[in-house]
Amino acid sequence: MPRIAVVTDSTADLPANVYEENDIKVVPLHVQFGDETYREGVDLSSEEFYSKLAFHKVMPRTSQPAPHEFETVYRQLMNESDSIVSIHMSSKLSGTYQSANIAANAIGCEKIRVIDSKSVSAGTGLLALEAARLSKLDITLKDLVDKIEATKSRLRLFFTVDTFDYMVKNGRIGKATAFLGTLLSIRPIMAIANGEVEPIERVRASRDKALMRFAEVVAEAMPKGYAMRGAVIHAIEPERGETLKQSLEELLHFEDLIVCSLGAGIGSHSGPGTMGATLYPVV
């Protein structure tokens, strides 16, 4: 059986045990607070990031891994594997995909395939997890990539934020500019569509009721009659994460639904209070 290694970046936001149990290699992004630079998930946990975010006056900055960081990982894995599939956040929102491609081209090996998830956070993570599942089968690299591309076309990611301040300051607002000026007492529901932010619905409700409506919007968007695989994403609000998970499980049938903490790579652009859900039907 060919050994296909799976690589992603730290914005995939899967729990550490999921990376470890599925042998997924993670290349960290860099997060800068003033003069201090950290590697996401290595020197800076999600909890530490949001703690710093609350007290720092200067907005944090994030940067993608340099090509040489990917190249080091790829060369190591090529000594242990027959091929590599490397899955990363939307190229429209980050230069990470480009860095990974530069590294793969520098090595000049046809057995390294870099995939643009066209998603973020656990949307990327679910594709990496699916690739890890497939890598355990008797499957070629081409067939695995084709299956991931098919899964990617079915995957949806929805999210809501407490404030647009972070998205605006970091230039990640996308088509959701339609919501600007209306956020007072409004809970926006947005999606990542074709790698960009897209507005879905304005909800005028309390935070708790808006979360229930969020679950309904997610369920309504999914095809009926299929089991789902998915993830709930929270910005260090585990109780709200569990509430959203329970709400989704009442509305849809899940084969697997994990809960993830939103890390610094995406959290620096969406801010505290962000909640999300990403899922796809198993066909």
Provide the CATH number for the domain around residue 252.
Answer: 3.30.1180.10
User: Which of 153, 185, 202 lies at the terminal end of a domain, its last residue?
Assistant: 153
CA 152/CA 238 separation, integer angstroms: 27
Same domain, 105 and 138: yes
| Domain tally, the chain | 2
In-domain check, residue 270 = yes
CA 203/CA 199 separation, integer angstroms: 12
Q: Which pLDDT score, from 0 to 100, does residue 197 have?
A: 86
- Among 181, 189, 87, 182, residue whose Cα is nearest residue 134: 87
Residue 271 exposure: Cα atoms within 13 Å on the Cβ side = 17
Same domain, 147 and 160: no
135: left (phi over 0), alpha (psi -120 to 50) or beta: alpha
CA 283/CA 274 separation, integer angstroms: 30
In-domain check, residue 82 = yes
- Among 86, 84, 82, residue whose Cα is nearest residue 1: 82
User: Which of 125, 153, 181 lies at the terminal end of a domain, its last residue?
Assistant: 153
SS3 152: helix
- Residue 141 is encoded by which pair of tokens? 């690299």
Question: Measured in whole angstroms, how far is the alpha carbon of residue 272 from the centre of its chain?
Answer: 16
Same domain, 127 and 266: no
CA 184/CA 182 separation, integer angstroms: 6
CATH code where residue 93 lies: 3.40.50.10170
Q: How many other CB atoms are found less than 10 A from the CB of residue 246?
A: 13
Same domain, 127 and 253: no
> pLDDT tens digit string along 34-76?
889 999 999 999 999 999 988 877 788 899 999 999 999 999 9
Q: In what order do the strands lie in the sheet with 36-39?
A: 36-39, 30-33, 61-63
Question: Measured in whole angstroms, how far is the alpha carbon of residue 25 from the centre of its chain?
Answer: 15
Same domain, 98 and 113: yes
pLDDT per residue, tens digit, the chain (283 aa), is: 559 999 999 999 999 999 999 999 999 999 999 889 999 999 999 999 999 988 877 788 899 999 999 999 999 999 999 999 999 999 998 999 999 999 999 998 789 999 999 999 999 999 999 999 999 999 999 999 999 999 999 999 999 988 767 766 655 555 545 555 455 567 889 999 888 888 899 888 888 999 999 999 999 999 999 999 999 999 999 999 999 999 999 999 999 999 999 999 999 888 889 999 999 999 9
Q: Which pLDDT score, from 0 to 100, does residue 176 have?
A: 47
Q: Which amino acid is at 182?
A: T
